[in-house]
Amino acid sequence: MKNHFLLLIFVVLIHTLQGQPLFRVLDSSIPCGEQLSVIPNFNAGIFSSYQWNFGDGITSTLYQPADVAYTTTGTRNVSLTVSSNTPFVIINTITITADDGGWEETNCGNTPDFYLEFEDVNGNYIFETSAVANTFNPTFLFSGGIINTSAFVIKIWERDNQGFCQIDDYVGTITIPAGATAGSYQNGNGETILISTQNVTSTTFTKSVSYTANVPTTITGNHPLCPGEILTLGAPADPNYTYQWSTGAQTQQIPVSTTGTYRVTVTALNGCTGVSTSTVTASTVEANPIVACAGGVLVCTNYSSFIRWLDQYLNPISGATGATYQPTANGIYYVERTLYCDARSEGISYPSCVVGTPPTVTVSSTSTSVCAGQPVTLTASGATTYQWNNGATTNSITVNPTAITTYTVIGTTNGLFSNPVSTTISVIAAPTVTVNSASICAGQTATLTASGATTYQWSNGETGSSINVSPTTTTTYTVTGTTTGCSAANPVSTTVTVNVAPTVTVNSTSICAGQTATLTASGATT
């Protein structure tokens, strides 16, 4: 059902300074590679001139300009100035009220059911606005649209809506003379239109638009990296995008298991790019031990995500992922709230099943830095029994590390366990020594030069990096290099070859004066 309240208004030209503007844009935020489209809110020919200004030196005097392509990121103020050879009327506001003698609608809902529509005298649609009303006699405040004809019709009507409780049909007419001035116009049944006007020959409307030359790029999936965790970092997913990560990967997502800064460049089909970086940091995990007895129940009272229980070496206990855990043996336990590696043992309550103070264990070592394969002795004290992470159970252990190694021990006294104590032994690599060889004649001198170490010991007793030797026969020499107190396990050998001098013989002969004799030498090469 549709009611019409018809108001015939005759003016020269009408448009508005507020509400619906002279033009609209399809998108005020323009992504990379797309263009700005403007659409006039009035018919062509009603103004004598049009002046568009899109910024960046782009202008137009057409009624409907071509789409505008920007090349740099930024915000522009797009303006349109229209002019007329004769003054026209700007309607600042129109208020239409249906009084008691007029049409009445009762709306039980709160949806836009009443419409104010403008048409030209031929019935061509111009534009409409709407109002929400749930009372009798709704009032329309009009502040938008372009009236593009000198004679037009205003219609007030409703669209079918289940929110209506009562509909009273009524049709009335009001005529506004040409060149209307501000005032009140009313028909015989009490319907009133109030118009505030201004006579001008030109007006300007401006709208702000933004353009981005970059593909929106944000890396997701980052949070503090937990021990042993693999993060998945991702860029925006789009079948029209290609990806280039600083790791060399060209996929939309990458796995990350180490800390550092990761960068991705996203490229769209139109050539637009976006770059984003994300820094992965390590989670600080606080290890707070829980001393518990077999059969006791450990309860995590403050958790909001998946948790897991750990043994004394911080290894996950198989199947122990609930809010409670019942140990099967006396020992030290930890709980880890695994959302971003929250502090272990936070919010833990557990029964006190032993009496006494856990022991405090200290560890000493004969050295914290040794040559590869050399022995070092670690000695723990402060408890009665000990358990090392290499399986040893004595208080003192001797180890021969070939690479940097961490040794951990837990002490026990009267059933109470100490905190784990760790000692790291650094290993110094042995130097790699090289030396030249030589070939000389008997009685000559050869120079042998070693490199790769700090100090040297030769088999002939000399200690410099270079030595001069004059063997009478082929001789082998060895050298041992030392750096930071560590020597190679085996010395390096080199040979000086002595070449024997040749024995030369020549024949003799007897000739008469004027004859030629041939002398021949042998025993050498030249």
Read out DSSP for 181-222?
-SEEEE-TTS-EEEEEEEEEEEEEEEEEEEE--B-----B--
All residues at 6 or more sequence positions from 108 whose CB lies less than 8 Å from its CB, including other chains: 134, 163, 164, 165
Q: Who wins on pLDDT, 92 or 492?
A: 492
Go through 150-176 and write b for each residue having 16 or more CB atoms within 10 A of its CB, e for each that does not: bebbbbbbbeeeeebeeeeebebebeb
**Residue in this structure with the two tokens 């070449």, named with its chain if needed:** 499
3: CB partners within 8 A, 6+ apart: 103, 105, 156, 157, 158, 167, 169, 170, 171
Residue 107 has pLDDT above 70, yes or no: no
Q: What residues contact residue 208 under an 8 Å CB cut-off, 6+ apart?
A: 28, 75, 76, 77, 78
Residue 42 has pLDDT above 60, yes or no: yes
Average pLDDT of 384-395?
92
Please name the residues in contact with 156: beta carbons below 8 A apart, sequence gap of 6 or more: 3, 4, 5, 7, 96, 98, 103, 114, 115, 116, 117, 140
Model confidence at 302: pLDDT above 90: no
Q: Which of 283-287, 442-446, 518-522 has the lowest mean pLDDT?
A: 283-287
Please give the Cα distance from 475 to 458 (Å, whole number).
Answer: 13
Beta bridge partners of residue 455, listed in sequence order:
482
At residue 344 the predicted structure's pLDDT band, cuts being 50, 70 and 90, is very low
Average pLDDT, the chain: 72
* Mean pLDDT, range 25-44, rounded to an integer: 80
Rounded-to-integer distance, Cα 124 and Cα 117, Å? 11
Task: Decide: helix, strand or coil at residue 405.
Answer: strand
Confidence (pLDDT) at 284: 55
**Do 362-428 and 434-499 share a fold?**
yes
pLDDT at 97 exceeding the cut of 70:
no
List the domain boundaries for the chain.
1-213, 231-280, 290-349, 362-428, 434-499
Which 8-state DSSP code applies to residue 228? Answer: T
Give the confidence band of 82 by pLDDT, cuts at 50, 70, 90: confident
Neighbours of 251 (CB within 10 A): 13
Res 52 pLDDT > 90: yes
- At residue 521 the predicted structure's pLDDT band, cuts being 50, 70 and 90, is confident
- The pLDDT of residue 95 is 52
Considering Cα of 163, then 165, then 168, then 172, what sign does the dihedral take? negative
pLDDT for res 177:
47
Q: With 0-12 CB in 10 A as exposed, 13-18 as middle and 19+ as buried, what is 481?
A: buried
Average pLDDT over residues 197-217: 71
Contacts of 253 (CB under 8 A, 6+ apart): 221, 232, 233, 234, 235
Instruction: Give, in words, the CATH class of 362-428.
Output: mainly beta
DSSP three-state, residue 37: coil
- Looking at per-residue pLDDT, the higher value among 422 and 300 belongs to 422
What's the burial of 311, exposed, middle or buried (CB within 10 Å: 0-12/13-18/19+)?
Answer: middle
Query: Mean pLDDT throughout 503-507?
Result: 78
Query: Which amino acid is located at 481 in the chain?
Result: G
Higher local confidence (pLDDT), 175 or 401: 401
Q: What is the pLDDT of residue 226?
A: 63
Q: How confident is the model at residue 468 (pLDDT cuts 50, 70, 90)?
A: very high
CATH numeric code, 434-499: 2.60.40
What are 396-421's pLDDT values in tens digits? Answer: 999 999 888 999 999 887 667 788 89
Residue 20 has pLDDT above 50, yes or no: no
Q: Assess whether pLDDT exceeds 70 at residue 157.
A: no
451: confidence class by pLDDT, cuts 50, 70, 90: very high
Give the residue from 320, 299, 322 showing the smallest Cα distance to 311: 320
Name the nearest CA neighbour of 474 among 524, 506, 510, 440: 440
DSSP β-bridge partners for residue 201: none
pLDDT class of 40 with cuts at 50, 70, 90: confident
Q: Using alpha carbons, list the distances in angstroms from residue 403 to 52, 406, 428.
A: 75, 10, 8
- Percent of the chain whose predicted confidence (pLDDT) is above 90: 22
Which is higher by pLDDT, 64 or 190?
64
User: Which of 71-75, 370-374, 445-449 has maximum average pLDDT?
Assistant: 445-449
Task: Give the count of beta carbons closer than 10 Å to the beta carbon of residue 137.
Answer: 17
> What is the C-alpha separation between 138 and 96, in angstroms, rounded?
9
pLDDT of residue 28: 80
> Residue 142: phi, psi to the nearest 5?
-95, 130
Of 35-49, 98-112, 392-406, 456-470, the least confident: 98-112
Q: How far is CA 178 from CA 150, 152, 432, in A?
A: 8, 11, 106
Question: Which pLDDT value is given to residue 292?
Answer: 67
Percent of the chain residues past pLDDT 70, beyond the cut = 62
170: left (phi over 0), alpha (psi -120 to 50) or beta: beta
pLDDT band for position 201 (50/70/90)? low
Alpha-carbon distance of 430 to 491, in angstroms, equals 12
What integer pLDDT is reported at residue 125 of this predicted model? Answer: 43
CB atoms within 10 A of CB 410: 23
Residue in 350, 334, 352, 343 with CA at minimum distance from that of residue 303: 343
Mean pLDDT, residues 151-157: 49
Distance CA 457, CA 460 (A): 9
Whether 98 and 116 have beta carbons less than 8 Å apart is answered as: no
pLDDT for 127 equals 44
Handedness of CA 195, 196, 202, 204 (dihedral sign): negative
Q: What are phi and psi of 453, to 5 degrees?
A: -135, 180
Residue 229 pLDDT greater than 50, yes or no: yes
Paired with 440 in beta bridges are 498
Which of the two residues, 125 and 5, has the higher pLDDT score?
125
Rounded CA gap, 105 and 50, in Å? 42
Res 351 pLDDT > 50? no
- Say what the pTM is: 0.34
